[in-house]
Amino acid sequence: MNNSVDSLWHYYQQTEFLFTQILSTQLSFAIITAYNPKGEVLSAPQNGLLDRKLQHEINRLGLPYRSMIGASQDRSHMEKSWAIATDKASAIKLGCLFNQNAIFYVEADTLQLVPCLMPKEETLLGAFSPRVNRVFELPDIE
């Protein structure tokens, strides 16, 4: 296996989530970003454009959603993301459409890392709620 793929997969497993409101532990939803497609770091304007395209697609599909951020534990890396009320298969298609290596899926407060473009197996990451940090407002990402 490619070391960079393994390294990215490891980093994805450490992700924490910033929300302005806590979601019910009974909800099932996907967490998808459009930032840094295929793991390639893009500029803030490029990521912003992709994010707006993803939000437009979510609206076009008529799916309920919430804006949020996926972040490294030390907050040195953050990506604008969307918590989207959809089934896992549809979420994977959306992740692939936006060239994402993987998405997260939450079901009954259980967090799963689900591959889209990466040649990896779906990974259960345990309880979702301990990884959630409630914030007054989402930080600006540059």
Element (H, E) at 133: strand 132-134
Whether pTM exceeds 0.85 = yes
What's 129's DSSP letter? G
User: pLDDT (tens digit, 9 = 90+) per residue, 39-50?
Assistant: 999 999 999 999
The mean pLDDT of the chain is 95
| Per-residue model confidence (pLDDT) at position 22 | 87
Q: Choose the weakest-confidence range: 4-8, 10-14, 57-61.
A: 4-8
pLDDT bin (cut points 50, 70, 90) of residue 1 is very low
Q: By three-state DSSP, how is residue 10 classified?
A: helix
Is residue 53 within 8 Å of residue 34, measured between CB atoms? Answer: yes
| Per-residue model confidence (pLDDT) at position 2 | 59
| Per-residue model confidence (pLDDT) at position 37 | 98
User: pLDDT (tens digit, 9 = 90+) per residue, 61-91?
Assistant: 999 999 999 999 999 999 999 999 999 999 9
Cα separation, 134 vs 120, in Å, equals 30
**What does the pLDDT average to over 97-104?**
98
Cα separation, 103 vs 120, in Å, equals 12
Phi-psi region of 135 (alpha: psi -120 to 50; beta: other; left: phi over 0): beta
Between the alpha carbon of residue 56 and those of residues 47, 62, 72, 139, the distances in Å are 14, 10, 26, 21
